[in-house]
Structure formats: structure tokens, C-alpha cells
Amino acid sequence: MMDFSWLFWSLLLVLSVARPGGVEASNQSPQDDGPRDLACPDAQDIFPCVCSLNSQNSMDMNCSEVTSEDELAAVFQANFPSTTFHRLTIFGNRQLRILKSDALGSATFEEFWITDGALELVEDNALIGSSATAVHMVFNFNNIVLFPFSDLHFFTSLKSLDLRHNFLAGFPVLVSPSLQTLYLSHNPLGGLPGSAFVNTPELLDVHLSDVGISGLVPGTFSGLRKLRNVGLGRNQLTHLPPSSVDCTPATGMIDVGYNEISSVSPDAFPGLVNGWVYIHHNHLRSLPEGTWRKLLEDGGYLDPYGNPLHCTCDIAWILRNATFLHEVDVYTTCADGHRLVDLDLAGYEHC
């Protein structure tokens, strides 16, 4: 009888190599660019946190279920095969009130999503371990009164900071060589200093709705060479002075809706081309040609809906130009309720 034992052992070897934990199990497949050295900690060591590999084959940590600051710190004292993470998530946690300076051990993160919770204080150095890796920080919808803004200049890769809906009082000193998007809306900041953005040269988008701004210092936004969008809605602005927002070729939107604005200087938005100005729900009674003509001539869009416009001769320049009329929000009405687009031009022949 022919001996087929060689075939049996050959098949066994092939199956062993293909199966994890086999005779010659490998963590590198022919499609891999290199060895995978990321591995989550043992689940029981980090409970109630949960570690998982995401679709980019990097690690995420979810600690939404921690019951105290001490428990969170204990998790990050466990044995970690790798301390390099993509995202830390803590969502809807009502027990964690302080993110302590040593809470995250030696772990590093690219993103922080600590949201919809009861967090009140982020201590100095609590995030500093990720100064070389952090790209996005999201801490919105908490109760934060103190945040380590003084550490931001160490974060050389940080692109966005989102602290909306907290209790931050007083506009922070911001120093960041890389920050592009800033969300501070719905905090009792109380004002916007003229030097607010002197040390954030890469800012693209600034969101400061409902923060208690009653006036703008001319030139506050100057020097932001890439500025795209500015949100200043739901504040207490009454007048927009010259250089309220210094624009760039990239500036697309300025939102000052839901303020108390009754007057706008002709040079309030120097440099704005093809941009949109949302000035709806304010106290404007007129749309002077000297203020708004350049915006519409330069391909811009104006939304003055919800203002008590008197619709006297001051709007005739818009009604006589079909292009201009098309570039004003179609739902804009006069104080008497008539829409601008429905007004009879014949009634303005005397203007």
C-alpha cells in the first residue's frame, strides 16, 4: 500500500499557518503593508471602558460607563500592549465631573469626544500626553467652567476645538499655530477682545453665537489669511463698525442674525467677494445703497429677512436691478408684511 502520510502532514502544516495560533501563525498577510502591532488591552483589565479596532485598523476607547474619576484613572493604569489610540469617547456620562491631569496615563489620542455629560473641569495637563497627536477635541454640551487653554500652544496638530454649550466665562487667551475651527458658541464669554485671534493665524471657521458680544472692535478678524466662515448670531450687537470682519478671498459666510443691529457701516466687511451675509432678525429699517451695493455687485448674497424695513426710496436701487433683487433673500419682507419681490416698481418712480 502506498504511504500518503507525507500528504497528511503537508495539509496539516498549511492549515496551521492559515489559522491564528497555529504552528506558524503570522500577523502579516500578503496584503499587509507591514506588521500590525496594535492590540487592545484585556477587556477585564479596562472595564467598564471598551476598546475596539475601527475600520482604519486603529484603536478606539469608549469610557462612557465609568462611574468616577478614580475608576477612569484606574483603567489607564492597566497593562496596555499599545498606548496609541485614535479616539476617546465619553458620552452622556453624569458621574465624571473632573478630567484630572493624570487620568489618561500614557495613552495618546487623535480625537477626544467627551460630550453630553456633567464634566465641569479639565485640569491643566490632562490632555498634554496627546500634544503631538490630537487633531480634534470635542467637549460640547457639558458644564465646563475651566479648560486648559494655556496648553493649546503645545498641540501642534490640533485642527478643531469644540466647546459649545458649556459655562466658560471670559474669552480665553488662544495661542495655537495649527487651529482651524473654533466652536465657543453658547458660553457666557461676555465679549470678544480685539486681540482674540492674534495668535491663531490658521483659523478658517469661527463660531461665537450666543456668547454675550455687544460690540466688535474694528480689525478683530484681521490677519486671518484663510478666514472662511464667521458665526456671531444671537448676541447683543447693535452696530457693525468698519472692519467688523476683515474678509479674504475664501470668506463665504458671515452670520450676524438674531442680534439688535440697527446700523451697518459701509466698510463692515472689507474684502468680501461672493460671500453671504446673514443679517436676518435684527432692527434694520433700511438697506442703504452705500452699505450693500458692493456686496451684491461682487456676487454676494444678503439675507435681511425679519427686519422692520420701511421699504421707502432706500430700496429702490435693489428693485430696479433684477440681479440685485435675486441676490436678496426671497422671503425678505417690509415691516407691513409685503415681500420685496412683490413690490410694484412703479411706486418708486419718484425716487
Q: What is the DSSP string of 279-304?
A: --SS------HHHHHHHHHTT-EEE-
Question: SS3 for 51?
Answer: strand
- Most distant pair of Cα atoms in the chain: their distance: 117
Question: SS3 for 75?
Answer: helix
pLDDT digits (tens, 9 = 90+) for 275-322: 999 999 999 999 999 999 999 999 999 999 999 999 999 999 999 999
> Residue 166, Cβ neighbours under 10 Å: how many?
22
- pLDDT at position 37, please? 56
pLDDT digits (tens, 9 = 90+) for 172-199: 999 999 999 999 999 999 999 999 999 9
Spatial contact of 188 and 167, defined as CB atoms under 8 Å apart: yes
- pLDDT at position 169, please? 98
Secondary structure E strands in 39-139: 50-53, 59-62, 87-91, 98-99, 111-115, 121-122, 136-138
The residue length of the chain stands at 351
| Cα(178)–Cα(200) distance, integer angstroms | 7
pLDDT tens for the 351 residues of the chain, in order: 344 333 333 333 333 333 333 323 333 333 333 334 578 999 999 999 999 999 888 999 999 999 999 999 999 999 999 999 999 999 999 999 999 999 999 999 999 999 999 999 999 999 999 999 999 999 999 999 999 999 999 999 999 999 999 999 999 999 999 999 999 999 999 999 999 999 999 999 999 999 999 999 999 999 999 999 999 999 999 999 999 999 999 999 999 999 999 999 999 999 999 999 999 999 999 999 999 999 999 999 999 999 999 999 999 999 999 999 999 999 999 999 999 999 999 999 999
Find, among 288, 291, 252, 284, the residue nearest to 268 by Cα.
291
